[in-house]
Structure 1
Amino acid sequence: MPDDRLPNSRGNRVCNPNNHHSTDASSTRGDTITTAHDGSVPTSSLAPAIAARLRKNDAGLVPAIAQEASTGDVLMLAWMDEEALARTLRTRRATYWSRSRQEYWVKGETSGHTQHVREVRLDCDADAILLIVDQTGPACHTGTH
């Protein structure tokens, strides 16, 4: 099976929607959610092996960093819970938890500045999520990319 992680990656790969191969959650290459041949995640809930590894804060959230796939630029920090991560993996659209509005938000749903998720990774101790995305328009609320 080819290694489809980006160069110099140290994080554990959770899911690459463009890769239709899957590995067991105990694989040394990191956790991968089993996907259908079209790359979709078959259920709306997060795979138990992934959920068990996530180290959430007291509010049940994990920081999520969005990184531009083509340049490696860090775009933004937001927050995810298990459901936001499951929705992101299922739809390939970055979905976050808004701490101020206390609701889920899909990046670009109102602005059109979308994030198409290519890959999701966990850091070494699973207390941070990295989203590798194709960003359309500015990522930041200040209007910068």
Structure 2
Amino acid sequence: MSEQPAPSPTPGPTPGTAGADAVSGSPLPAEIASALKRDSAGLVAAIVQQHDTNEVLMLGWMDDEALQRTMTTGRVTFYSRSRQEYWRKGDTSGHVQWVKSVAMDCDGDALLVRVDQVGAACHTGTRTCFDGRTLEVVTGTAG
């Protein structure tokens, strides 16, 4: 099932909004907004993980507004780079992501969103976006 976008009352990120300009107009608390390192489109990668099994479910993109919505509504909101609009996971499919926690990595350029996933996380209908997509690699061992 394909996710459909949620209504987008505010415009999406504008190229070049990374850095100081993004902080001044950000809906986020200043300490969070100033710590985020956004790409040239004003976005940060958001890794989504099942809170109780640590299963990595998917990767999405957030701007400041999507992160603020995620932090304050209990549901995960992403910014669609292809459609250039916000979408709340599960609004059309019923495959809701209930927020359990959000963490920023040490560099501020990635987020870890721990959720309680209802149904499939992937738009293809699989539990995770990584199911059945393992690449062959040479494995290593410690020591």
TM-score for both structures, normalised by structure 1: 0.69
The one-letter code of the counterpart of 2:95 is H
Distance 2:74 2:48 in 1: 13
Give 1:1-145 correspondences, 5 Å limit. Answer: 45-145=27-127
The one-letter code of the counterpart of 1:74 is V
Distance 1:58 1:78 in 2: 16
Distance 2:84 2:39 in 1: 16
Distance 1:92 1:85 in 2: 11
* Equivalences, count: 102
Structure 2 stretches of 5 or more lacking a match? 1-25, 128-143
Question: 1:113 deviation in Å?
Answer: 0.2
Structure 2 residue aligned with 1:38: none
Question: 1:128 deviation in Å?
Answer: 0.2
| Runs of 4+ off more than 4 Å | none
Structure with bigger gyration radius:
2
- Identity level (%): 60
Question: 1:85 deviation in Å?
Answer: 0.3
The one-letter code of the counterpart of 2:42 is G
Q: Give 3-state SS (helix, strand or coil) of 1:141's partner.
A: coil
Structure 2 residue aligned with 1:25: none
Question: 1:79 deviation in Å?
Answer: 0.2
